[in-house]
Amino acid sequence: MADLARLRALLGDTDPRESVGDQLPMIPPIRRLLGSRVRRGALVAIEGEAARYSLSMVLLAGVSSAGGWCAVVGVPAFGCVAAAAYGVRPETLGLVPQPGAAWTDVLSALTTGMDAVLVHRPEAVPGGLARQLTAKARRSGCTVLTLGPAWEGSDLRISVVRRQWYGLAQGGGRLRRCRVTVVASHRPRVRVDLWLPAEDGGVREAAPVVSAA
């Protein structure tokens, strides 16, 4: 019976009118956060400073573990070991750490061939340019994840509102895992608690009730 209830919950979350092939592949806890309406080719803004790299890696991991190709543009500090632990496959990952002034050309070239691109611009991107770049990505089904100021026309914005590291004491222990609470702009009432990262470096869903730890 419990299985049946879970199956119902799963079906209730899915709109039968949308084909599954158009959905952005996500890992289950992120799907619970974002729902099933997010398509391939969406523009997703990752906001805030807290755990933004980890959050972007988890989103890339969903695409990558479904066999997709990912590129990371303008993020020289991208921690590849952590990304691999989250589930991003290094064989299908390309890094363009220094796109320089030609970043728009680089981005539009990559959106034609990748399934997801993570791009970081420290300054705000003009609205017209953002629309132009994302229209192309939308056509070819390439999801664009942005770090830094949210681009105009973002389909959704997600951010980490709370985070707490466990395992470190005053002069002892080591960083073991971090509990974060993630929210998305289009479903403000849904909050998901994650171990990001969990003890093995991966990602787990945390029990929603916060204990005193």
Partner 1 sequence: MTGAVRTLLLWCPDWPVVAADIVDGVPATGPVAVLHANRVVACSVAARADGIRRGLRKREAQSRCPGLRVVDHDPGRDARAFEPVLAAVEEVVAGVEVLRPGACALPVRGPARYFGGEEAAAERIVEQVAQSCAVESQVGIADGVFAAGLAARTGRIVPPGETPRFLAGLPVTALGRPALTDLLRRLGIRTLGGFAALPGGDVLARFGFDAALAHRLAAGLDHRPLAVRRPPPDLAVTETYDEPLERVDVAAFAARSLAERLHEGLAGYGLACTRLGIEAVTAHGQELHRVWRHDGLLTPTAIADRVRWQLDGWLRGAAGRPGTTAAAVSRPTSGIIRLRLVPDGVLAQVGLQPGLWGEAGDERERAHRAFSRVQGILGPEAVLTPVLGGGRSPADQVHLVPWGDERRPVRPADPPWPGRLPAPAPAVVLPVPLPATVLDATGAVVGVSARLAVTAAPARLVVADGPPREIVGWAGPWPVDERWWDPAQARRQVRFQVCLADGTALLLALSSGRWTVEASYE
Contact 47, 161 (CB under 8 A): no
Residue 9 or 102 with smaller CB distance to partner 1: 102
| 3-state SS, residue 195 | strand
Residue 102 or 190 with smaller CB distance to partner 1: 102
Cβ 7 to partner 1, closest distance in Å?
28
Catalog residues that contact partner 1 under the rule CB under 8 A: 50-54, 57, 67-69, 71, 76-85, 90-100, 102, 105-106, 109-110, 112-115, 163-165, 168-178, 197-201
| 3-state SS, residue 77 | coil
Cβ 21 to partner 1, closest distance in Å?
14
The type of residue at 70 is: C
Side-chain half-sphere exposure of 66, counting CA atoms within 13 A: 20
Which backbone phi and psi does 119 adopt, to 5 degrees?
-130, 140
d(CA 151, CA 134): 10
Residue 94 or 127 with smaller CB distance to partner 1: 94
Cβ 36 to partner 1, closest distance in Å?
23
Cβ 126 to partner 1, closest distance in Å?
21
Cβ 206 to partner 1, closest distance in Å?
15
Enclosing H/E stretch for 105: helix 103-111
Residue 10 or 166 with smaller CB distance to partner 1: 166
d(CA 120, CA 75): 6
Residue 69 or 151 with smaller CB distance to partner 1: 69
DSSP 28: H
